[in-house]
């Protein structure tokens, strides 16, 4: 195949976009250079075509009708079975709509991307090799830009406890599907709380693992420095078993390059919590919009942990309340760079997906008006900040992440675990009549406790700890890096004793 050559007019445009001009006596040279180098791209294109022709064929399943789609949690139902034995044998697993499953369309909850992967994400391969059956692709907020659960191109994901409310996002389908009776375990993604928010609002367990512990290769992300993916289930022990399967080194994922990953992620069991030091983070109860019943429910849960032998004390870190500017300073420009880099960005050593890059870039170019308001605003903001201030705020915010991480690390020298509400409020009511401003802000008003730990990389777990007004409340536990299984063991002890799982 022959790559299209740019016209002379387009070459002049390209020069202008890069802040220089082509002189008339240089035009023939540029034409010749483009033709010579693009002959090499012609060879690359031949290789791409051959790779796509060898993609595996699978039954892609179907889009369920409304009457068989519990809480609108499912985008697609299917059956892809792994081996007949292993730690996940017999377990039905659903994956978020941004995770590659070869031969099955992936849309990221949007009307922008039209893409069918040719390879499985690393974690999918690991789960199938451990005996799992993939039974569903689950709903998510449009391009993962909201924490509320109401922006998907397939419609909002409803809350299983009150369908007038939302499941949360962006992994809303991953949480709601767990209460359908059709799924045992799900996988979500988390860049600002997108596993833990819906886990809290739906009353399930959701883990944002330590940064780098679980490979992200084969999953559409936002920014290599804060992408996380992790398991969700009704019981902490199922999350722990799944984590042990999907965690570990993957040469294709640059997020793991410098991570000193533990050799053993075997699930822990704690019969008691004697000797465990839990710090109730005061500032975790101070978020804007926090509801008193949520705070009270989480504090009662902390008291319950004390009855299991833990030492519980109040602990303070004012820096927790100052994380917002760091989150936005990194998020706006980082995500914009990824989107403008066709869903991949540049300059990282790992496995790229050429077909996804093409599908993402062409989708944005041709159907950008279908992006959600949150994505449009973020792209405008990130572009404005980069062009006006040349990346200095992104750079400064990235540097501040080390200070934020160090602040939590110092707390975790005096206690083993931090405890706070996962979200400051219970599940939002679904309101389809919000103004654009209200819609955008309502998708981001629950991340004050979750987003800081995406910036620092600490493991953070939401475990259901009670009900208030008929709705679940989530308690978030945060630990030292790679103490993921310890958090899950604490949650398991809590669930076995108080039956809040």
Q: How far apart are CA 262 and CA 244, in angstroms?
A: 11
d(CA 188, CA 95): 7
Candidate list 100, 110, 152, 170, residue with the active-site label: 170
User: Residue 501's pLDDT is what?
Assistant: 43
Please, how many CA atoms are within 13 Å of residue 241, restricted to the half-sphere of its CB? 20
Which pLDDT does position 248 carry in this prediction? Answer: 92
Residue 150 corresponds to which tokens in the numbers above?
């109401």
The answer to whether residue 7 is catalytic is no
Say how many residues make up the chain: 501
Q: Where are the alpha helices (DSSP H) in 97-251?
A: 122-129, 172-176, 196-202, 236-246
- The reply to whether 426 belongs to the active site is no
The C-alpha R_g of the chain, in whole angstroms, comes to 23
The two three-digit tokens of residue 87, written as one number = 């730690």
Q: How far is CA 336 from CA 128, 142, 264, 391, 446, in A?
A: 34, 16, 36, 12, 22
Q: pLDDT digit of tens for each residue in the chain (501 aa)?
A: 678 899 999 999 989 988 999 999 999 999 999 888 888 888 887 777 776 777 778 899 999 999 999 999 999 999 999 999 999 999 999 999 999 999 999 999 999 998 999 999 999 999 999 999 999 999 999 999 999 999 999 999 999 999 999 999 999 999 999 999 999 999 999 999 999 999 999 999 999 999 999 999 999 999 999 999 999 999 999 999 999 999 999 989 989 876 566 667 788 888 889 999 999 999 999 988 899 999 999 999 999 999 999 999 999 999 999 999 999 999 999 999 999 999 988 888 888 888 899 999 999 999 999 999 999 999 999 999 999 999 999 999 999 999 999 999 999 999 999 999 999 999 999 999 999 999 999 999 999 999 999 999 999 999 999 999 999 999 999 999 999 999 999 999 999 999 744
Q: Which CATH class is domain 66-498?
A: alpha beta
Question: Could you tell me which residues come within 8 angstroms of residue 484 by beta carbon, excluding any fewer than 6 positions away?
Answer: 207, 209, 210, 213, 243, 247, 265, 459, 461
Give the 3-state secondary structure of residue 219. Answer: strand
Distance CA 399, CA 216 (A): 23
Identify the active-site residue in 171, 194, 217, 462. 194
Half-sphere exposure of 212 (CA within 13 A, CB side): 18
Told to judge if 96 belongs to the known catalytic residues of this protein, a careful annotator would answer yes
Contact present, 429 and 200 (Cβ < 8 Å): no
DSSP state of 245: H
User: Residues 6 or more apart from 227 whose CB is under 8 A from it?
Assistant: 189, 191, 216, 219, 221, 255
DSSP assignment of 384-416: HHHHHHTTHHHHHHHHHHHHHHHHHHHHHHH-S
pLDDT for residue 29? 94
């Amino acid at each position: 195949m022959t790559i299209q050559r740019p016209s002379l007019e387009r070459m002049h445009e390209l020069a202008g976009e890069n802040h220089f001009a082509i002189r008339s006596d240089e035009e023939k040279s540029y034409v010749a250079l483009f033709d010579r180098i693009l002959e090499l791209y012609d060879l690359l294109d031949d290789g791409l075509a051959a790779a796509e022709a060898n993609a595996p064929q699978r039954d892609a399943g179907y889009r369920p009708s409304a009457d068989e789609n519990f809480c609108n949690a499912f985008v697609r139902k299917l059956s892809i079975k792994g081996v007949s034995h292993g730690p996940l044998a017999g377990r039905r697993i659903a994956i978020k709509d941004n995770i590659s499953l070869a031969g099955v369309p992936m849309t990221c909850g949007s009307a922008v991307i039209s893409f069918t992967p040719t390879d499985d994400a690393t974690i999918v391969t690991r789960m199938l090799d451990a005996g799992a059956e993939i039974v569903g692709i689950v709903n998510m907020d449009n391009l993962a830009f909201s924490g509320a659960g109401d922006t998907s191109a397939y419609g909002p994901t409803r809350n299983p406890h009150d369908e007038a409310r939302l499941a949360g996002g962006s992994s809303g389908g991953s949480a709601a599907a767990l209460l359908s009776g059709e799924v045992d375990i799900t996988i979500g993604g988390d860049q600002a709380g997108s596993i833990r928010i819906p886990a809290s609002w739906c009353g399930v367990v959701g883990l944002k693992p330590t940064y780098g512990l679980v490979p992200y290769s084969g999953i559409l992300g936002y920014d290599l420095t804060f992408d996380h993916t992790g398991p969700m289930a009704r019981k902490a022990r199922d999350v722990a078993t799944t984590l042990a399967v999907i965690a570990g080194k993957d040469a294709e994922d640059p997020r793991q390059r410098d991570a000193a990953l533990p050799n053993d992620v075997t699930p822990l069991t704690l019969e008691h919590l004697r000797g465990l030091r839990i710090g109730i983070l005061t500032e975790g109860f101070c978020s804007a919009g926090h509801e008193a019943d949520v705070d009270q429910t989480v504090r009662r849960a902390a008291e319950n942990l004390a009855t299991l032998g833990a030492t519980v004390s109040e602990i303070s870190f004012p820096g927790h309340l100052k994380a917002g500017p760091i989150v936005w300073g990194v998020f706006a420009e980082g995500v914009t760079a990824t989107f403008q880099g066709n869903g991949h960005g540049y300059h990282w050593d790992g496995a790229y997906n050429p077909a996804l890059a093409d599908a993402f870039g062409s989708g944005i170019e041709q159907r950008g008006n279908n992006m959600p308001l949150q994505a449009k605003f973020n792209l405008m903001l990130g572009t404005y900040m980069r062009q006006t201030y040349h990346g200095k705020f992104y750079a400064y915010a990235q540097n501040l992440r080390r200070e934020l991480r160090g602040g939590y690390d110092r707390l975790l020298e005096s206690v083993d675990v931090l405890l706070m509400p996962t979200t400051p409020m219970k599940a939002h009511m679904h309101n389809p009549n919000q103004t654009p401003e209200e819609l955008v802000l309502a998708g981001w008003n629950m991340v004050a406790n979750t987003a800081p730990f995406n910036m620092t990389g600490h493991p953070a777990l939401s475990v259901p700890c009670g009900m208030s007004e008929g709705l679940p409340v989530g308690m978030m536990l945060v630990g030292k890096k790679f103490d993921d299984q310890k958090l899950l063991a604490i949650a398991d002890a809590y669930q076995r004793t108080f039956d809040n799982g």
